[in-house]
């Protein structure tokens, strides 16, 4: 019994110490930061930069994958990022956990995510992020900066703020950040009417089949001269 208790207590401690990305608040779009003429402009290396996503339903059935970047520039002055932007190719949405074949496979999920139910990539093929401000602000999780910027998805621009780790080097810098957004803030509203119907007692499927509003994003950038 004592051994079981200790194992359980250790598991609780490990769970409590696990760092999870925080939800970010979506505000009205802010004024985009402008670089000075003296700033050094770096290009986003799209072969080494990526966006990773995690989404799922209310009970289990979590999926994850990637979205490719198609370009961007970041301005650096006095050893700090001052402005910048990057673009993501929404047609490149990739699932990494489902099988290639079968009744429900990678291609089927990717097709659904690209449809008007979710990101409607035919009408909105690109999502973007434009920096509005950058602050040097370290925390106990290894982050070095706090970045604010306008993220545009499906033509909707919202300003978000999140912690990021930026490592400068002689060629440029590597940066990474993880955060959670509410997809409804950008007009990705699939399943909302059905979920409302469930709450009203008229839905035909259980709540576990409904898609969560939370979408976790991890952005990994490599910028070079």
Residue reference for tokens 């003296």 = 38
pLDDT, mean over the chain:
87
- Dihedral, 92, 181, 57, 89 alpha carbons, nearest 10: -10
CA distance 191 to 118: 10
In sequence order, the 6+-apart residues with CB closer than 8 A to the CB of 172 are 42, 76, 222, 223, 224, 225
Q: How confident is the model at residue 210 (pLDDT cuts 50, 70, 90)?
A: confident
Longest CA pairwise span in the chain (Å): 68
CA distance 187 to 127: 13
Task: Give strand pairing partners of 126.
Answer: 89
Per the model's pLDDT, the better-predicted residue between 20 and 217 turns out to be 217
Over residues 28-65, the pLDDT tens digits come to 999 999 999 999 999 999 999 999 999 988 776 899 99
Which range, of 20-24, 82-86, 97-101, averages the lowest pLDDT? 20-24
Determine which helix (DSSP H) or strand (DSSP E) holds 75, and give its type and residue range.
Answer: strand 63-77
Tokens linked to 126: 């690109």
- At the fourth CATH level, the homologous superfamily of domain 2-224 is Lipid/polyisoprenoid-binding, YceI-like (2.40.128.110)
- Per-residue pLDDT, 209: 55
pLDDT average, residue stretch 187-193: 79
For the chain, the straight-line distance linking the first and the last C-alpha, in angstroms and rounded, comes to 60
Over residues 92-139, the pLDDT tens digits come to 999 999 999 988 899 999 999 999 999 999 999 999 999 999 999 999
pLDDT at residue 10 tops 50: no
- Per-residue pLDDT, 55: 96
DSSP count for the chain of H helices, then E strands: 3, 10
pLDDT at residue 6 tops 60: no
CA distance 132 to 82: 9
Q: In this prediction, what percent of the chain has a pLDDT beyond 70?
A: 83
What is the domain partition of the chain in residue ranges? 2-224
Q: What are phi and psi of 9, to 5 degrees?
A: -65, -40
Provide the CB-side half-sphere exposure for 189 (13 A, CA): 7
Q: How confident is the model at residue 72 (pLDDT cuts 50, 70, 90)?
A: very high
């Amino acid at each position: 019994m004592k051994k079981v208790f200790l194992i359980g207590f250790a598991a609780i401690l490990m769970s409590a110490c696990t760092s999870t990305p925080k939800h970010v608040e979506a505000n009205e779009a802010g004024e985009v930061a402008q670089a000075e003429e003296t700033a050094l402009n770096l290009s986003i290396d799209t072969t080494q930069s990526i966006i990773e996503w995690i989404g799922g339903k209310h009970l289990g059935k979590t999926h994850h994958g990637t979205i490719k970047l198609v370009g961007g520039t970041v301005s650096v002055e006095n050893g700090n990022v001052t402005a910048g932007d990057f673009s993501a190719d929404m047609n490149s949405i990739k699932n990494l956990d489902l099988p290639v074949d079968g009744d429900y496979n990678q291609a089927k999920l990717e097709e659904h995510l690209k449809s008007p139910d979710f990101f409607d990539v035919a009408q909105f093929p690109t999502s973007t992020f434009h920096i509005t401000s950058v602050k040097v602000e370290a925390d106990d999780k290894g982050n070095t900066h706090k970045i604010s910027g306008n993220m545009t998805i499906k033509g909707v621009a919202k300003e978000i703020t999140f912690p990021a780790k930026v490592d400068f080097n002689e060629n440029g810098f590597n940066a990474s950040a993880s955060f959670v957004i509410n997809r409804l803030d950008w007009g990705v509203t699939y399943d909302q009417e059905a979920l409302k119907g469930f709450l009203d007692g008229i839905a035909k499927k259980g709540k576990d089949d409904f898609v969560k509003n939370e979408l976790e994003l991890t952005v990994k950038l490599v910028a070079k001269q």
